[in-house]
Amino acid sequence: MRRATLVVALGVLVLTSAAGAQQEQMQMAHDHGAMEMDANGELSWRMPPMDPNMPMMPGLMGALPAVGPILPGFGLDPMDYPEARPREVMDLVDGQEITLTASVVRRMIAGRQYLVFAYNQQYPGPLLRAPTGATVVVNFENEIDQATTVHWHGLRLDNRFDGVPGVTQAPVLPGESFRYEVLFADTGVYWYHPHMREDIQQDLGLYGNLLAVPTQPDYYAEVNREEFLILDDMLIDDAGIVPYGDAAPTHTLMGRFGNVMLTNGATDYRLDVDRGEVVRFYVTNVANARTFNVTFGGAPIKVVASDLSKYEHEVWVDSVPIAPAERYVIEVRFDESGTVPIENTIQAIDHFRGEFYPHVDHLGNVSVADSMTDRDLADGFATLRSNLDVAADVDSYRAHFDRAPDHEIELTLEIGDLPLPIIQSMEFEKGLYVPPVEWNDTMPMMNWLSTGEEVRWILRDRASGRENMDIRWEFKKGDIVKLRVFNNPETLHPMHHPIHVHGQRYLVTSVDGVPNSNLVWKDTAIVPVASTVDMLIEMTNPGEWMVHCHIAEHLHSGMMLSFSVE
Amino acid sequence: MKVALRLAGLALAATCAAPALASPVPFLCAAPAALPALEPGTPYYDIELVPTGRVPGTRRAAGLARVNSTGSPFGVAVTSSGRYSVDLAVSFRGLVPRARDFAVWVATADLSEIHYIGVLDEAGNLKAEASWNKFLVIVTLEANGAEPGESWDGPIVFRGMSRSGRMHTMAGHGPFQAEACAKYGY
């Protein structure tokens, strides 16, 4: 079961570049003094980094996950690999053909070099920008040492190109290629990533944005510039990237939270603007598990759009909570010179002490120059637009909002043979309090030790009792399906789940029975603990499709189902 | 719920229909069974308002503050500091009307911040908001039509605490580490 095909030390190169705040975070981690290889030179487990204020649970010292460790790139000399470069933009037209290659690259993260994955040797992968309605042919080549596919997240494209191994295509083995026809069906921002072992491949850098450019010039308000923010985190300690599970993921209870925050793949993201500029940010969360609460130094944020459409009405907010795989289109005006921090501001939880504590992760800076922009868009920015086109689109579905659901699923889990202290801890906590959203890894050791061998996350069809891939709903093209999702809090380890529906679009019509008064078309939406979320799915796209949690470790411990549209 | 499974462990190696892409997981396969239909809304975060017994005739009344996430474009409502924003719907059954008002307050657990919400209507209902990590809902009996001060003047009739208050486990501080619980804000 333990795979150790690459047996030489990774050889993390400690370079002298500015490390910044991220390095401080890494230094905060416990230094367990462990090496990443054992006496035989093979990759070995070491305890994950933890907040030094968080105590070790008695009885877990020395415990190891039930699966073996794997770390792509382990044993390879980083200097033998090309250095990754920042993302480039590919402006594409209908029918254009491009090549997208997944490969191993050398990349600097927080002052140290690592071997990771990249598309076209870029971090993030290239931004693919095409007019709405265009189809682009992507010749994908797999040059990593794992089977993979590419999933075009959120795009309502032909089912054959959805990138789900065993459902829509065979895995693309190392050295093989696959031809995708990517339809930029709906105006909006999307992303692409593997649909195999996302906990490893996506975490190591296989992700990039797609933008379906509006065909109407005034689809969005006028802004001074557009910027793409891809938010991520990685789990790194003094010895390097913490290994992953080989036969199954580790961290399956909560998902793998990182301790190094990345914006567009870097720890030192910076944007330079003139004073008064209005910036439209396309924000994507590609983290395995972390939900961010993004702030811009207290500046008001205008929420414009999400996954597949604009909102019915633009609104002001102070922060943007964004779960894995979600996207939000927001606008911010920088009206004072200086540095505006982009931060993840949360109330973290220490379950051991039973306390909340404020926590801030630095995600980047916007440097605002003294000089005023020569195109002041303050008036337009101050105006909240109502999108009558969206409201009109939604109107034809309103008759379905209040009817009984067609299907109900319950989100739950089963826990097998975990170490007794973990079970005891969860039994003790059961019935006390679980927050609607887990913003931080509240139990790093327990989480690390829980693998896909012991934890099975479940989507349970309440009508049939069937679970996960045993559920096979059948629909006809044109069906409007009301799905009620209940996140059961009465389990040993409840947690929120970002639920992704492939190939279709849906509306979140209500949460806990409270109607949603500002609708937007989604493909991924968060279902907080104990919540009942009603989704109205428009079945327009024929084929075999998936519904799953987009926390990578939950997905790979079973939390997915399929449905067909004929 | 599934504690029994841990006892079974690997001995129960029957493979439920394994996810196509994940490793087979050794779990007991229960026969599928239908579950009752769901009603939207959940009592999980509800706050029971418990009588203090200080006011005669209130012990038999049942009070509840239903907690729902405040409307948000994101599906979950939090402040810029990450605190949850919730709507509270306070309601009572069996509360006998009085000459004085039942006033509702929300407060932090250490009473360092207290917000007056209003008085219960004739049906015993009131809507409120809160955005603290842990908070109290307090119902007091106040002079009819009195202008509320910084805190209540009358007796506390009912009180309840947000479910997050149950997280105060005492395992990590207090008796074991001789740390004042108040240090952690309860």
Range of the domain at A377: 225-386
Domain-located, residue B69? yes
> Are A182 and A135 in a shared domain?
yes
Angstrom distance (rounded) from CA A353 to CA B183: 11
Question: For residue B177, what is the nearest residue in chain A, using CA coordinates?
Answer: A353
pLDDT computed for residue A79 by the predictor: 94
> Are A303 and A332 in a shared domain?
yes
Angstrom distance (rounded) from CA A440 to CA A419: 22
* A75 closest CA partner among A4, A6, A144: A6
Split into its structural domains, chain A has a count of: 3
* A287 closest CA partner among A184, A211, A361, A213: A361
Mention every residue, 6+ apart, whose C-beta is less than 8 A from residue A522: A306, A307, A308, A326, A505, A506, A507, A508
Min Cα separation A258/chain B (Å): 19
> Are B115 and B28 in a shared domain?
no
Domain-located, residue B70? yes
Question: For residue A311, what is the nearest residue in chain B, using CA coordinates?
Answer: B73
Give the single-character DSSP code of A499.
Answer: E
What is the DSSP pairing of strand A85-86 with strand A122-123?
parallel
Residue B43 in this model has a pLDDT that exceeds 70: yes
> Are A412 and A499 in a shared domain?
yes
Considering A166, A184, A213, which residue would you say is the last residue of a domain? A213
> Are B92 and B136 in a shared domain?
yes
Alpha-carbon distance values, A295 to A189, A221, A266, A299, B85 (Å):
20, 21, 18, 8, 16
Joined together, the tokens standing for residue A198 give 């996302």
> Are A408 and A500 in a shared domain?
yes
Domain-located, residue A375? yes
* Residue A205 identity (one-letter amino acid): G
Angstrom distance (rounded) from CA A268 to CA A257: 19
> Are B107 and B142 in a shared domain?
yes
pLDDT computed for residue A10 by the predictor: 28
CATH number, domain of B119, equals 2.60.40
> Are B63 and B120 in a shared domain?
yes
Considering A213, A246, A268, which residue would you say is the last residue of a domain? A213
Angstrom distance (rounded) from CA A447 to CA A251: 5
Domain-located, residue A11? no
pLDDT computed for residue A22 by the predictor: 41
Residue B170 in this model has a pLDDT that exceeds 60: no
pLDDT computed for residue B39 by the predictor: 64
> Are A531 and A474 in a shared domain?
yes
Range of the domain at B22: 1-33
Angstrom distance (rounded) from CA A500 to CA A20: 35
> Are A403 and A379 in a shared domain?
no
Please list every residue in chain B whose beta carbon sits closer than 8 Å to the beta carbon of residue A490.
1
pLDDT computed for residue B110 by the predictor: 84
> Are A187 and A238 in a shared domain?
no
Split into its structural domains, chain B has a count of: 2
Q: Which residue has the higher pLDDT, B18 or B169?
A: B169
pLDDT tens over chain A, length 566 residues: 333 333 222 222 222 233 333 443 444 443 343 456 676 778 999 988 887 767 677 788 889 999 999 999 998 999 999 999 999 999 999 999 999 999 999 999 999 999 999 999 999 999 999 999 999 999 999 999 999 999 999 999 999 999 999 999 999 999 999 999 999 999 999 999 999 999 999 999 999 999 999 999 999 999 999 999 999 999 999 999 999 999 999 999 999 999 999 999 999 999 999 999 999 999 999 999 999 999 999 999 999 999 999 999 999 999 999 999 999 999 999 999 999 999 999 999 887 778 899 999 999 999 999 999 999 999 999 999 999 999 999 999 999 999 999 999 999 999 999 998 888 888 877 888 999 999 999 888 999 999 999 999 999 999 999 999 999 999 999 999 999 999 999 999 999 999 999 999 999 999 999 999 999 999 999 999 999 999 999 999 999 999 999 999 999 999 999 999 99
Mention every residue, 6+ apart, whose C-beta is less than 8 A from residue A140: A99, A100, A101, A102, A150, A172, A177, A178, A179, A180
> Are B13 and B99 in a shared domain?
no
Question: For residue A556, what is the nearest residue in chain B, using CA coordinates?
Answer: B22
pLDDT computed for residue A559 by the predictor: 98
What is the DSSP pairing of strand A292-296 with strand A338-350?
antiparallel
DSSP string, A195-241: SSSHHHHTTTT--EEEEEE-SSTTSS---SEEEEEEEEEE-EETTEE
> Are B62 and B150 in a shared domain?
yes
Q: Is the dihedral of CA A327, A333, A338, A344 positive or negative?
A: negative
Q: Which residue has the higher pLDDT, A132 or B169?
A: A132
pLDDT computed for residue A11 by the predictor: 27
Angstrom distance (rounded) from CA B78 to CA A401: 26
Query: Are B2 and A415 inside 8 Å of each other by CB?
Result: yes
Residue B20 in this model has a pLDDT that exceeds 70: no
Domain-located, residue A433? no
Please list every residue in chain A whose beta carbon sits closer than 8 Å to the beta carbon of residue B22.
248, 452, 555-558
Residues 226-265 of A with CB under 8 A from B: 247-248
Q: Is the dihedral of CA B13, B15, B20, B25 positive or negative?
A: negative
Question: For residue B67, what is the nearest residue in chain A, using CA coordinates?
Answer: A512
Domain-located, residue B178? no
> Are B75 and B159 in a shared domain?
yes
> Are B144 and B122 in a shared domain?
yes
Min Cα separation B116/chain A (Å): 24
Q: Tens digits of per-residue pLDDT, B123-162?
A: 999 998 999 999 999 999 999 888 889 999 999 999 999 9
Domain-located, residue A445? no
Considering A213, A241, A256, which residue would you say is the last residue of a domain? A213
Q: Given CB atoms, is B6 within the 8 Å cutoff of chain A?
A: yes
> Are A357 and A259 in a shared domain?
yes
Query: Are A350 and B164 inside 8 Å of each other by CB?
Result: no
CATH number, domain of A412, equals 2.60.40.420
> Are B14 and B105 in a shared domain?
no
Alpha-carbon distance values, A224 to A117, A280, A380, A529 (Å):
33, 8, 11, 39
pLDDT computed for residue A364 by the predictor: 98
Q: Given CB atoms, is A489 within the 8 Å cutoff of chain B?
A: yes
Residues 139-198 of A with CB under 8 A from B: 165-167, 195-196
> Are B112 and B66 in a shared domain?
yes
Domain-located, residue B38? no
Domain-located, residue B182? no
Query: Are B79 and A415 inside 8 Å of each other by CB?
Result: no
> Are A318 and A367 in a shared domain?
yes
> Are A375 and A403 in a shared domain?
no
> Are B11 and B103 in a shared domain?
no
> Are A91 and A132 in a shared domain?
yes
What is the rounded average pLDDT for all residues in chain B?
76
Domain-located, residue A56? no
> Are A256 and A364 in a shared domain?
yes
Domain-located, residue B175? no
**CA angle (A510, A514, A520) in 5-degree steps:** 35
pLDDT computed for residue A14 by the predictor: 27
Domain-located, residue B14? yes
Domain-located, residue B180? no
pLDDT computed for residue B134 by the predictor: 92
Domain-located, residue A148? yes
Report, as an integer, the average pLDDT of B37-55: 83
Of B35, B69, B80, the CB nearest to A298: B80
> Are B21 and B86 in a shared domain?
no
